[in-house]
Amino acid sequence: MTSGTDRDASLADVGEFGLIGRISEIVAATAPGEDVLVGPGDDAAVLRVRKGHVVVSTDVMVEGRHFRRDWADAADVGARAAAQNLSDINAMGGRAQWLTVGLAAPADLPAQWALDFTRGFAEECAKVGAGLVGGDVSRADQVVVSVTAIGACTVSPVLRSGAAPGDVVAICGRQGWAAGGLAVLGRGFRSPRVLVEAYRRPEPPYDAGVVAAEAGATAMVDISDGLLAEAGHVAEASGVSIDVATASFEVPEPLLAVGQATGADPLRFILAGGDDHALLATFPADVALPDGWTRIGTVGAAPAEGAPRVTVDGASYDGPTGWSHF
């Protein structure tokens, strides 16, 4: 049991190796599996790859840019960090198996924050049977988290570049909820709580990627930066155009409430919002969509020079399409 004194200790008090030791205790309790031959504590983890394609993804979260400690507690930040990486593997039609974490933080950050972050991270990984197998800690002026996820595809990975004219565009997972929660938090409120919680802890459809790949999805992407922005990535990579039909979306009541309170069009949360980590995929028109997937548009031929690759209801869209880091 952690004493009150221990809970008040900073990273400087605990020290690098003291922190690593405590994190290793948390990781050991998650039992990452028999394919982890060497886990945390050595220069590198050693993993057994049995079959299929190895898929790897890395994401970075920067305090003040991707999260705020006054908006989400440490366990929530940990869960979010895990979710966005697990979802990237999911979007390839694979399943994450192992993750590593690099954590840089100020010396006066409470050590308990780092431990709670680790617990939230490990809890999210456990949802797909993945394990935290290593990482690094360092000093920085603000909290920075870098995560690498390693997984496998037992069928051919689904890329962004496979969409073809005539395909249908479909989505799986809730979309726009995290963006609504961010809008609420940005105005200093905490309600509707369901949206705030959606921002703090996304609920990606972790089983949907493998199912879509097995059903014959031609292209797929994780919606992390905005639905229209991600559709644009698929269209660009595939050399096609995509039209999104807004009539396909049912705007949930919490988003309607936020729209009324902020004067924003609630549909824009859905079209441009990220961080829910829903999946966007294309399928041949003659393929029955798997359970949980909803058709939201169509794939067309490459657009004429100067024409948009992504349209909404058959026309150019002049609203925001998603997040851009630069």
Q: Is 224 annotated as a binding residue?
A: yes
Cα–Cα dist 90/277, whole Å: 10
**CB distance 98 to 131 below 8 Å:** yes
Q: Which residues contact 265 (CB under 8 A, 6 or more apart)?
A: 259, 319
Q: Is 323 annotated as a binding residue?
A: yes
**CB distance 179 to 259 below 8 Å:** no
Q: Is 161 annotated as a binding residue?
A: no
Q: Is 10 annotated as a binding residue?
A: no
Q: Is 222 annotated as a binding residue?
A: yes
Q: Is 243 annotated as a binding residue?
A: no
Q: Is 8 annotated as a binding residue?
A: no
Q: Is 59 annotated as a binding residue?
A: yes
Q: Is 282 annotated as a binding residue?
A: no
Q: Is 73 annotated as a binding residue?
A: no
β partners of residue 53:
153
Which three-class secondary structure state does DSSP give residue 296? strand
Q: Is 98 annotated as a binding residue?
A: no
Q: Is 218 annotated as a binding residue?
A: no
**CB distance 163 to 282 below 8 Å:** yes
267-271 long-range Cβ contacts below 8 angstroms, 24+ apart: 268/319, 268/320, 269/176, 269/177, 269/179, 269/180, 269/183, 270/175, 270/176, 270/179, 270/227, 271/176, 271/226, 271/227, 271/228, 271/244, 271/246, 271/312, 271/317, 271/319, 271/320, 271/321
Known binding residues for ATP are: 135-136, 160, 224
Known binding residues for substrate are: 66, 275, 323
Known binding residues for Mg(2+) are: 43, 57-59, 88, 136, 222, 225
Known binding residues are: 43, 57-59, 66, 88, 135-136, 160, 222, 224-225, 275, 323
